[in-house]
């Protein structure tokens, strides 16, 4: 309720929730931290006075509290970087947490504050390299995501770990983890961004991505997304996909569209799905979304591997 209200209302709410962080009841502390996270999205400037308390919460026994505290500290650092000491040490300490999700959030936040404080001279590439060797794919994928973002502002710092990132998918690995295709999908997307930042590295990045066209359609789609970012998609496949998309959008029950989709190679199918997904995410084409949704439903009836799209 408070996030839409004036600062005079929010300030007492933050103070009250801050006091709840010391409550003996774990669930109370957790819910207070959740509420603080929501408020911080809109009022980061009001959280500067409680930054030190939040640093202390990073030692809480409750995993969710530690995760949320990381997020809020990151929000404060991004919203008011001049008002608090950069929480590098705090986030680095969380890299030793015994819970993968906490380590994952910590490495992502380290990447964020390294961008927020570019002159802090505290970026340790060793932290990221260590996370690439983590036994959790969640942590590995978060590290690659953070590195792909950092590469845009710290290209020479990130360049030495490209080999480490490629090694994660070389040789091809079983795609496991949460969600379709697993956490390795985020690694593929990060490689796509790195291929844009480092054109000279693009050929070997492309080589790795092209080997990942396994039986999982979701994996193929995300590999295609990464290849599109690098502009490394086969022109003939792209032309074939454009033709199928045009037919589907003109008439989602078109017999020709269905026949061409069924006969298409996996790479072409992945391009069709990627193009349709991009149209869903494009707010300029909002009037087209019902048509795109109908095309997805048609595709899911052709092949139940694509049911998640509908």
* Alpha-carbon span 231 to 41, nearest angstrom: 35
Straight-line distance from the first to the last Cα atom of the chain, in angstroms, rounded to the nearest whole number:
34
Gyration radius of the chain's alpha carbons = 23
Q: Cα–chain-centroid distance for residue 32?
A: 26
* Residue 6: both structure tokens together: 């004036």
CA–CA separation, 170 vs 67, rounded Å? Answer: 31
Q: How far is CA 79 from CA 40, 84, 114, 212, in A?
A: 9, 10, 14, 39
Q: What's the CA gap between 161 and 143, in Å, rounded? A: 11
Q: Which residues are CB-neighbours of 298 under 8 A, at least 6 positions away? A: 248, 252, 253, 257, 258
Residue 143, pLDDT score: 95
Percentages of the chain per state (helix, strand, coil), in multiples of 5? 75, 0, 25
How far apart CA 112 and CA 221 sit, in angstroms, is 27
Nearest-angstrom CA–CA distance, 167 and 9: 51
Nearest to 210 by CA among 192, 186, 183: 192
For the CA atoms of 152, 155, 160, 163, what is the dihedral angle to 10 degrees? 40
Alpha carbon distances (Å) from 274 to 2, 57, 121, 250, 254? 39, 42, 39, 18, 20
| pLDDT reported for residue 212 | 78
Query: What pLDDT is recorded for position 178?
Result: 45
125, 146 contact by CB (below 8 A): no
Question: Chunked in runs of 10, what are the mean pLDDT values of the chain (310 residues)?
Answer: 70 90 94 91 86 92 93 88 87 94 94 80 84 92 93 90 91 54 80 95 92 76 90 93 92 86 91 87 68 87 76
Task: Give CA angle at 109 (108, 112), nearest 5°.
Answer: 95
3-class secondary structure, 171: coil
What local confidence, expressed as pLDDT, does residue 285 receive? 61
pTM for the model stands at 0.82
């Amino acid at each position: 309720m408070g996030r839409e209200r004036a600062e005079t209302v929010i300030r007492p709410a933050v103070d009250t929730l801050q006091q709840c962080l010391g409550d003996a009841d774990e669930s109370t502390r957790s819910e207070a931290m959740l509420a603080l996270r929501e408020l911080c999205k809109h009022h980061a400037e009001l959280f500067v006075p409680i930054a030190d308390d939040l640093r202390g919460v990073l030692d809480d026994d409750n995993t969710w509290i530690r995760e949320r505290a990381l997020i809020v500290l990151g929000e404060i650092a991004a919203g008011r970087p001049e008002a608090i000491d950069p929480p590098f040490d705090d986030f680095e300490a969380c890299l030793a947490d015994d819970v993968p999700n906490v380590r994952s959030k910590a490495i992502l936040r380290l990447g964020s504050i390294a961008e927020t404080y570019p002159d802090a001279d505290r970026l340790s590439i060793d932290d990221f390299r260590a996370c690439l060797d983590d036994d959790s794919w969640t942590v590995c994928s978060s590290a690659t995501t953070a590195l792909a973002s950092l590469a845009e502002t710290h290209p020479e710092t990130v360049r030495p770990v490209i080999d480490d990132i490629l090694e994660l998918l070389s040789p091809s690995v079983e795609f496991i983890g949460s969600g379709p295709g697993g956490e390795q999908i985020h690694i593929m997307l990060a490689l796509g961004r790195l291929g844009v930042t480092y054109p000279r590295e693009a050929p070997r990045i492309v080589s790795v991505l092209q080997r990942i066209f396994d039986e999982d359609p979701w994996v193929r789609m995300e590999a295609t997304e990464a290849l599109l970012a690098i502009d490394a998609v086969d022109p003939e496949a792209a032309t074939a996909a454009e033709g199928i998309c045009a037919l589907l959008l003109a008439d989602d029950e078109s017999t020709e569209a269905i026949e061409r989709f069924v006969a298409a190679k996996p790479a072409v199918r992945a391009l069709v799905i990627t193009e349709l997904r991009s149209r869903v995410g494009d707010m300029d084409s909002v009037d087209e979304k019902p048509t795109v949704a109908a095309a997805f439903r048609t595709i899911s009836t052709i092949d139940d591997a694509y049911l998640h799209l509908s």
